[in-house]
Structure 1
Amino acid sequence: MKYSIDKKETYTIITIDEKKLDTTVAPDLKSEFVKLNAEGINNLILDLSNVKYTDSSGLSSILIANRLCNSTGGLLVLTGLQDHVMKLITISKLESVLHILPTVEEGIDRIFLHAIERDLTSKE
């Protein structure tokens, strides 16, 4: 699987450099999510702007990342979704479960907002 990881202090950006997120790629991606979570990384931005197609196994890997992030108080943000990928998420009725934004920059802003919201909630 071709991808890049950019670790920052409060979030990590994973850019998938594959046209398809399917059964050949999804297991490696799941493993990467589990490894990052074990390292204590709980805010992920998954940049899918290069991904033109995904199947149920690709969607499953995204849901695993979402569950891992949520379980540690973090956030998964999907960015750059192409039409086919967005259509599968919509058909699966997951657009209300997943955080989807057009750009990585907006994803970064959403993660910072999530941290502020979490801090405010914990003080109540």
Structure 2
Amino acid sequence: MKYTVDKKEQYVIFTLLEEKLDTGISPQLKSELLTVHAEGYTNLILDMSQVKYSDSSGLSALLVGNRKFGEEGGIFVISSLQEHVMKLIKISMLDKVLKIVDGLEEAAEAIFIHEIDNGEEEEDLE
């Protein structure tokens, strides 16, 4: 599986450099996402601009990332979906579960807004 990881202060940009997110690479994607989370990052942007096709195992990998990064108040943002992958996500009704944005700038904004909202929630609890 080809990918890049760009670690920022508040989040990680994980760019999948594959055209297909299928049974051939989904287990490895899950593993890499869990590794990034284990390194202490709670917010991740998954850049899927190169991915033209996904199957159900690919969607499963996305759900694993979404669950893991959401566990401790973090956020998992999917950016730059191609038309076919977006259709599959909508048919599966996962667009109601996953945080999907058009581009990396919008993804970064979503993370900053999430961080601000979480900070306010923590203050309310005190």
TM-score over 0.5 for the alignment?
yes
Q: Distance in 2 between matches of 1:3 and 1:37?
A: 16
Partner-residue secondary structure (3-state), 1:95: helix
Q: Distance in 1 between matches of 2:33 and 2:79?
A: 16
Deviations 1:50-75 (CA, angstroms, capped at 9, x unpaired): 00000011110000000001101100
One-letter amino acid of the structure 1 residue matched with residue 17 of structure 2: D
Indicate yes or no: 2:79 matched with 1:79. Answer: yes
How far the C-alpha of 1:105 sits from its partner, in A, is 0.8
Identity %: 52
Partner-residue secondary structure (3-state), 1:33: helix
| Unaligned 5+ runs, structure 1 | none
Q: Distance in 2 between matches of 1:77 and 1:2?
A: 19
Deviating above 3 A after TM superposition, structure 1's stretches of 4 or more consecutive aligned residues are none
How far the C-alpha of 1:111 sits from its partner, in A, is 0.1
Indicate yes or no: 2:18 matched with 1:30. Answer: no
Within-5 A mapping of 1:1-80: 1-80=1-80
Deviations 1:65-114 (CA, angstroms, capped at 9, x unpaired): 00001101100110110111001110111111111000011100100000
Indicate yes or no: 2:97 matched with 1:94. Answer: no
Q: Distance in 2 between matches of 1:79 and 1:33?
A: 15
Partner-residue secondary structure (3-state), 1:6: strand
Residue in 2 aligned with 1:107? 107
Residues paired across the two proteins, number: 124
TM-score by structure 1 length?
Answer: 0.98
Q: Distance in 2 between matches of 1:4 and 1:93?
A: 28
| Unaligned 5+ runs, structure 2 | none
CA RMSD of aligned residues (A): 0.6
One-letter amino acid of the structure 2 residue matched with residue 30 of structure 1: K
